């Protein structure tokens, strides 16, 4: 299946198996377990509810760990890319960029990256959203988790 062209409007990653199946089923399981606790409160139903809640926590923690590792890889990739593309004195200021700023800058083309980095370091673009909104030649990231 060919990927559609990625833009700021559609760059959020939704993994159907996780977002539309696993999470809803796990949440429904918690609600069902709580219903059992309500109608028949005993050690077994309470333990089932605790396990159901633990499964939701496990799914969310797993997702968080995956995106954290992904962000670390993006930071490394962006620092390498910036060292290659930026001229001094900007190249000497790469470590001043926050992880969130580096993650947002990954969508910029090589041609516009230096100007965006300058604006970020000068305080003109503070948030990830502000950085992404300024990207003119969007470079899609189709391999995200």
What is the predicted pLDDT for the residue at 1? 45
Provide the H-helix boundaries in the chain.
16, 23-39, 43-85, 99-105, 110-121, 128-134
Q: Which residues contact 53 (CB under 8 A, 6 or more apart)?
A: 30, 33
What is the pLDDT of the chain when averaged over all its residues? Answer: 92
Q: Quote the CA–CA distance of 118 and 21 in Å, as a whole number.
A: 42
Domain ranges within the chain, ordered by starting residue: 13-72, 86-139
Token representation of residue 19: 């977002």
Q: pLDDT, tens digit, for every residue of 78-130?
A: 999 999 999 988 999 999 999 999 999 999 999 999 999 999 999 999 899 99
Q: Reduced to 3 states, what is the DSSP secondary structure of residue 140? A: coil
Position 70 pLDDT exceeds 70:
yes
Token representation of residue 9: 């409007």
Q: Quote the CA–CA distance of 47 and 44 in Å, as a whole number.
A: 5
Token representation of residue 70: 């992904």
CB atoms within 10 A of CB 125: 21
Specify the pTM: 0.77
What is the predicted pLDDT for the residue at 3? 60
């Amino acid at each position: 299946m060919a990927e559609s062209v990625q833009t700021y409007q559609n760059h959020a990653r939704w993994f159907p198996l996780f977002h539309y199946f696993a999470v809803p089923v796990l949440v429904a399981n918690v609600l069902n377990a709580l219903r059992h606790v309500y109608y028949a409160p005993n050690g077994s139903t309470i333990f089932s509810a605790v396990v159901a809640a633990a499964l939701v926590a496990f799914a969310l923690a797993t997702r968080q760990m995956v995106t954290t590792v992904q962000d670390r890889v993006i930071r490394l990739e962006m620092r390498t890319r910036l060292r290659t593309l930026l001229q001094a004195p900007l190249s000497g200021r790469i470590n001043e960029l926050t992880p969130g700023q580096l993650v947002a800058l990954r969508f910029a083309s090589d041609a516009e990256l230096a100007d965006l980095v300058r604006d970020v370091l000068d305080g003109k673009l503070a948030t990830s959203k502000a950085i992404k909104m300024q990207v003119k030649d969007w470079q899609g990231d189709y391999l995200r988790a």
